[in-house]
Amino acid sequence: MSTRKSDTRFKDRSELLDFLLEITGTISSTLDLDTMLASLSQIVRQVVPFDLFAILLYNEKLGGLAVRYSIGFNEELIKSLVIPLDEGITGVSGSGRIPIVVGDVRSDPRYLPFLDAVRSEMAIPMVAGTRLVGVIDLQSTRLNAFTNEDSALIQLIASRVATSIMNARLYRRVERQNKTFKTLTNVAREFSYIIDLDELLGKVASTVRGLINYDAFSILLYDAATEALRHRFSIRYDEHVQADNIPIGKGVVGRVAQLRSPILVDDVREYEEYIELNPSTRSEMAVPLLVPDRLIGVMNLESSRLANFTQDHLQTLSLLSPLVAGAVESARLYEEINTGKAKLEDDLDAARTLQAALLPREDPGIGGLEIGIHFRPAQQISGDVFDFFEHSDDLAFILFGDVSGKSAAAALYGAMVTGLIRTLAPRRRSPAALLQALNESLMERKVEGRYLTLLVALWHPSTGSLTIANAAAIPPMISRKRQIITPEVEGFPLGLFAGRQYDEVTFQTEPDDVVLLFSDGIQDQTNPAGEEYGGHVAQLLKKLRKLPAQKIADDIFEDFDRFRGPQAIFDDQTIVVMKVKGKQESPKS
């Protein structure tokens, strides 16, 4: 004797009406499609036993039925399954909008075998007006498991569910659109703050995942040199993967790059130019990344389900792509700047090493003088110029100056000046004549925006005299016992005006005199109170004059740093201390 609930539950019409009202209330209580379909399966199970259950929704693009919810089926088997109308029991039911009950599927050629043990099947179409929404499919391992009464009851359920499913799908679409617009608003702000390219692409992948479900995501950047798309970021099933590069015009992404327009492919097996990189891929969608009309890359999504992507998805990705393109371009520029900066740092390191070799760091051994040197660039390398070299008849030239500007360009100009001086000096015994010749040479090699202040002194070790000519450099400060002497000598900077002549003065030193040369980076440096260090130098030199030359230079720097405190260094700083020895002598005597 049968104990089927469908035979015994509804004793009269009022009980059936109560059941139908319960169905309506349950189904209409939510607009979430997954929740609704799960509730529907529970309702059906209450009245009709089954071993396998599926709700298939009609996909207009594919012209077939895709499983949206199931119980008992192999998930991998049905994941990308699309049953064409007129194929299988469910396809025929959907096509004809008719219920079908089969007592023994082994004798029905329409049956699509998913499980060998299945013996009977019932398919009930869900129709809203004249529109096919989908099919409710029940299967059992018993022969003749479903009756005409079961069919009538499931039809009643289907008629009430069809409209609710359509409403849920419409609600889901509207909700997705609202979510898209909100996300786009947030994305524009968030992306602008990310300057690391890899971090940005990871953020893009997660943002798109929140809008569109995918199994694989890639961003390929255009390489103009090879005319190919290079994978910069690829993720599949939440794992980063390495992928091949794609030539322009080849495959889905190659065609998108070539046409500069989006492409949506429901079934990649039917796309003639498809390049199979992932065997499980069934549908694909790609959009170009343009800034504004220049191609910088392609954003690509893949799914293992047929027709996983819709026109709404394509529209969403197309709205997102300009934001992604702009952010990627900014991050790439930042990356290039960083790469260039690293290369520049390497170049500056090399320049710093070269400058260290060119600029004297210790006493050069000029007769009659003890020399101390201390210098520090404001940036990587210094624009200050100083040098010592012997002239004929045991004379020695001493150079001290400053190139306009800072860092590499100034240092390079300074190196050129030093080279020119060493070329010009042997034929000139006068500092003034040397400055005049140097000025003319610089005017012949004029560099826009560059000039030089320079003091040239000719040291006579046999007499202890300094012949000085000045091209706008800070005059030397000479400490003699309790006096501070500043020889007055002036002139125009070098490299600005042609035809300039320079004056010179001769200063007679005495034993133990201390001659201090310092750059304007020392003189003009301020402390937090706004005071300049230049006003402190004279008194400090009086206190330090009895110390060795190098000790004087080092102590001035220590005092200088205490004075400036937290104030930043804004200019190159150089100190040269020359202490006249007690007995004047020629270095060759």
Q: Are 290 and 314 in contact (CB under 8 A)?
A: no
The mean pLDDT value for 376-404 works out to 80
Domain shared by 161 and 215, yes or no: no
Domain shared by 200 and 80, yes or no: no
- Write the CB contacts of 308 (distance below 8 Å, at least 6 apart in sequence): 213, 214, 282, 283
Alpha carbon 148 to chain centroid, angstroms: 65
Q: Give the H or E element holding residue 69.
A: strand 64-71
Q: What Rg do the C-alpha atoms of the chain give, in angstroms?
A: 44
In a domain, 349, yes or no: no
For residues 381 and 407, give the distance between their C-alpha atoms in angstroms, rounded to a whole number.
Answer: 5
- Kindly list the strands in the beta sheet with 396-403, ordered across the sheet, starting from the edge strand earlier in the chain: 384-390, 396-403, 452-460, 465-471, 504-508
The predicted structure's pLDDT at residue 7: 47
With 90 as the cut, is the pLDDT of residue 120 above it?
A: yes
Domain shared by 321 and 456, yes or no: no
The mean pLDDT value for 456-480 works out to 92
> Amino acid identity, residue 133?
V
Q: Are 507 and 541 in contact (CB under 8 A)?
A: no
For residues 264 and 348, give the distance between their C-alpha atoms in angstroms, rounded to a whole number.
Answer: 51
In a domain, 352, yes or no: no
Domain shared by 243 and 392, yes or no: no
With 70 as the cut, is the pLDDT of residue 442 above it?
A: yes
In a domain, 298, yes or no: yes
For residues 426 and 399, give the distance between their C-alpha atoms in angstroms, rounded to a whole number.
Answer: 14
Q: Are 537 and 523 in contact (CB under 8 A)?
A: yes
With 90 as the cut, is the pLDDT of residue 420 above it?
A: no
pLDDT band at 181 (very low <50, low <70, confident <90, very high): low
The predicted structure's pLDDT at residue 588: 42
Domain shared by 323 and 364, yes or no: no
For 98-102, 445-449, 581-585, which range has the lowest pLDDT when averaged over its residues? 581-585
The predicted structure's pLDDT at residue 2: 39
In a domain, 185, yes or no: no
Name beta bridge partners: 456.
Answer: 399, 469
Q: Is residue 530 classed exposed, middle or buried when 0-12, 13-18 and 19+ CB atoms within 10 A define those classes?
A: exposed
For residues 38 and 18, give the distance between their C-alpha atoms in angstroms, rounded to a whole number.
Answer: 21
- Write the CB contacts of 101 (distance below 8 Å, at least 6 apart in sequence): 120, 121, 122, 146, 147, 148, 150, 151
The predicted structure's pLDDT at residue 192: 66
Highest mean pLDDT among 183-197, 306-320, 330-344, 406-420: 306-320
How does pLDDT run across 133-170, given as a tens digit for each residue? 999 999 999 999 999 989 988 888 888 888 888 877 77
Q: Are 118 and 105 in contact (CB under 8 A)?
A: yes
Burial 387-419 (b: 16+ CB within 10 A, else e): bbbbbeebbbbbbbbbbbebbbbbbbbbbbbbe
112 vs 381, residue with greater confidence: 112
The predicted structure's pLDDT at residue 585: 45
Domain of 498, CATH number, reads 3.60.40.10
- Quote the tokens at residue 502: 């320079």
Domain shared by 466 and 553, yes or no: yes
pLDDT band at 6 (very low <50, low <70, confident <90, very high): very low
For residues 492 and 469, give the distance between their C-alpha atoms in angstroms, rounded to a whole number.
Answer: 11
- Quote the tokens at residue 320: 């997102």
Sign of the torsion formed by the C-alpha atoms of 139, 145, 148 and 149:
negative
Give how far Cα 121 sits from Cα of 93, 144, 159, 226, 230, Å.
Answer: 12, 9, 19, 58, 51
Q: Are strands 228-236 and 369-376 parallel, antiparallel or unpaired?
A: unpaired
Domain shared by 371 and 243, yes or no: no
Domain shared by 369 and 329, yes or no: no
The 3 state secondary structure assigned to 47-58 is HCCCCEEEEEEE
- Quote the tokens at residue 197: 């390219």
Phi-psi label, residue 559: left if phi above 0, alpha if psi -120 to 50, beta otherwise: alpha
The mean pLDDT value for 302-311 works out to 90
Per the structure, the count of domains in the chain is 3
With 60 as the cut, is the pLDDT of residue 354 above it?
A: no
Domain shared by 365 and 507, yes or no: yes
The mean pLDDT value for 45-68 works out to 89
- What residues make up the domain containing 158? 5-174
For residues 189 and 145, give the distance between their C-alpha atoms in angstroms, rounded to a whole number.
Answer: 59
With 90 as the cut, is the pLDDT of residue 301 above it?
A: yes
In a domain, 384, yes or no: yes
Residue showing tokens 């390489």: 223
pLDDT band at 109 (very low <50, low <70, confident <90, very high): very high
Q: Which of 65, 23, 21 is closest to 40 using CA atoms?
A: 23
For residues 269 and 79, give the distance between their C-alpha atoms in angstroms, rounded to a whole number.
Answer: 16
In a domain, 179, yes or no: no
- Write the CB contacts of 443 (distance below 8 Å, at least 6 apart in sequence): 495, 497, 498
Residue that is last in its domain, among 174, 207, 228: 174
Instruction: Output phi, psi for 384, to 5 deg.
Output: -75, 150
200 vs 353, residue with greater confidence: 200
Considering the chain, what percentage of its residues have pLDDT values greater than 70?
A: 84
Q: For all residues of the chain together, what is the average pLDDT?
A: 84
Domain of 245, CATH number, reads 3.30.450.40
Q: Is residue 443 classed exposed, middle or buried when 0-12, 13-18 and 19+ CB atoms within 10 A define those classes?
A: middle
pLDDT band at 258 (very low <50, low <70, confident <90, very high): very high
With 60 as the cut, is the pLDDT of residue 537 above it?
A: yes
Domain shared by 214 and 290, yes or no: yes
The mean pLDDT value for 199-220 works out to 89
Domain shared by 365 and 397, yes or no: yes
Sign of the torsion formed by the C-alpha atoms of 481, 486, 488 and 493:
positive
Q: List the helix and strand counts (H, then E) for the chain.
A: 14, 23
In a domain, 585, yes or no: no
238 vs 553, residue with greater confidence: 553
Domain shared by 312 and 387, yes or no: no
With 50 as the cut, is the pLDDT of residue 193 above it?
A: yes
pLDDT band at 180 (very low <50, low <70, confident <90, very high): low
How does pLDDT run across 506-530, given as a tens digit for each residue? 999 999 999 999 988 899 999 999 8
The predicted structure's pLDDT at residue 189: 67
- Quote the tokens at residue 189: 């702000």
Strand locations in 19-60 (E): 52-59
Q: Are strands 477-480 and 465-471 parallel, antiparallel or unpaired?
A: unpaired
How does pLDDT run across 214-235, given as a tens digit for each residue? 999 999 999 988 889 998 888 8
In a domain, 548, yes or no: yes
For 205-209, 464-468, 497-501, 568-572, which range has the lowest pLDDT when averaged over its residues? 568-572
- What does 392-427 look like in DSSP terms, one character per residue? GGG-EEEEEEEESS-HHHHHHHHHHHHHHHHHHGGG
**Model-wide pTM > 0.85:** no
